[in-house]
Copies of this chain bind each other. A is one copy, B any other.
Amino acid sequence: MKAVLFLALHTDEDHKMMVKDVYGRINVPQSYLAKLLQELSKHNVISSARGPKGGFYLSAINKELPLIKIVDVIDGEQRLRSCLLSIKECDSENPCALHHLVGNANSYFIENLENTSIADLIVDVRDGKTVLPL
């Protein structure tokens, strides 16, 4: 998340960044970040270019992607959507004992991840409404 937001803020088709210019800014080891970015790139969540003048960047299309893509690629689609008590399906029809604790909080969060694009967040950061501690 940090890396993608950082890239969203500082890169585009004409301004790429290498992992070695990013990892220090977000306090993540270089190799680990490389693997994460490669994974995101492979799934077309972010873009990359090899060779000199290459690097990672977010295309205009990338920036319009919903945030949920990032967590789905990195953590898997089940990470946020599974029942707290491991019931097969989490729905309000047959709620587990903990279901109401979360209430619509979790689905609210997921829906926000689905409906908010990377670009949306960057707008707020640029407007100073939110802060990116990088």
Contacts and interface: CB of A to CB of B under 8 A. Distances in A.
Given A105-B105, A105-B108, A109-B102, A131 B97 contact: yes
Contacts of A132: 85, 96-97
Contacts of A1: 84-85, 98
Contacts of A85: 1-2, 132-133
Interface of A: 1-2, 5, 27, 67, 84-87, 94-103, 105-106, 108-109, 112-113, 116, 121-122, 124-125, 129-133
Nearest to A67: B101
Contact of A103 (B2, B108, B133): B108
A1 B86 CA distance: 11
Contacts of A27: 86
